[in-house]
Amino acid sequence: MSDAATAVCGACPRHCRLADGAVGFCRARRAENGAVVAANYGRISSISLDPIEKKPIAFFRPGSNVLSVGSYGCNLRCPFCQNDGISQHGADEVPYRTASPGELADLAARLADEQGNIGLAYTYNEPLVGWEFVRDCAAEIRRRGMLNVLVSNGCASESVISQIAPLIDAANIDLKGPSQEYYDWVGGDFGAVCRTISALHGAGCHVEVTTLVVPGRNDGEADMDAIASFVASVSPDMPLHVTRFFPRWRMSDASPTPVADVRRLADVARRRLSRVLVGNC
């Protein structure tokens, strides 16, 4: 296929090269007329008013609710995916409704009066595979004086993060493992995730990080020390959620992480970080 027949996606480090009409690895982006666009723009597969602690975000507006929305698609292939029903499928496999950024912002504002909603959270699937919708919704939310929350794997291009970061008030970013070797397993880019965490923090966003402890993959003390060391290099006060794996998707026959291992690794992280929490225990 010649270069003239392809468009290059700039949303994440994969840089998918797509013929016109083709869909990218994430299943959410498509080449149209020589450009790659978010095919999942405005397509909402999931919507719920959630406690912010469910994101998980523990140290930003605790006790509040946030309207949470998701679409479909993801640019990783974590074999333990917890939301594979939407993240690992495309438009033909996921039921969705459509909504404009203004409509979602209006709903968020109504829920502020009715149920104490603080804004809009982009979550459930990987929101940044449709980063244009996140950008547009976030701008509408800001115009209404409300807050934006991002829950992401962080595997996005620097150009995307530079546009998104100024609009995001709080984020939880997955740091899935301590090295590119681990990210080769899940299909991602370790350096890109680290840059995302640093850039969001540098833009004044409240950032929390989550690491899912997968038995036999990232459950060594050296693994957790490396993760905590990076987080501490950004800020020793940045919260880290050390969470327990449960069998899902392609790892449905695996055993859950022993609770004792999660707590032990949290103690390892506390050697470098002041705010470490355990989850799913």
Residues 170 and 152: their CA atoms lie apart, in Å, by: 11
Question: Looking at residue 1, what is its pLDDT?
Answer: 38
Looking only at the bridges linking them, the beta strands covering 206-213 and 170-174 are: parallel
What does DSSP assign to residue 213?
E
* Residue 23, token pair as written in the block: 């869909």
Q: How many CA atoms lie within 13 A of 248 on its CB side?
A: 17
- Domains of the chain, CATH where assigned: 42-279 (3.20.20.70)
pLDDT in tens, 122-181: 999 999 999 999 999 999 999 999 999 999 999 999 999 999 999 999 999 999 999 999
Per-residue confidence (pLDDT) for residue 2, from 0 to 100? 44
Q: Classify 98 as helix, strand or coil.
A: strand
> What does the pLDDT read at residue 86?
97
Joined tokens for residue 96: 């969705």
One-letter amino acid of 116: G
Using an 8 Å Cβ cutoff, are 281 and 262 in contact? yes
Query: What is the Cα–Cα distance from 131 to 232, expressed in whole angstroms?
Result: 28
Positions of E strands within 15-108: 17-19, 29-32, 35-38, 43-44, 46-51, 65-70, 97-98
Residue 70: predicted pLDDT:
98
Mean pLDDT by 10 residues, the chain (281 residues): 74 97 98 97 98 98 98 98 96 97 98 96 98 98 98 98 98 98 98 98 98 98 98 98 97 97 98 97 93
- Within 10 A of 159 (CB to CB), how many other CB atoms are there? 11
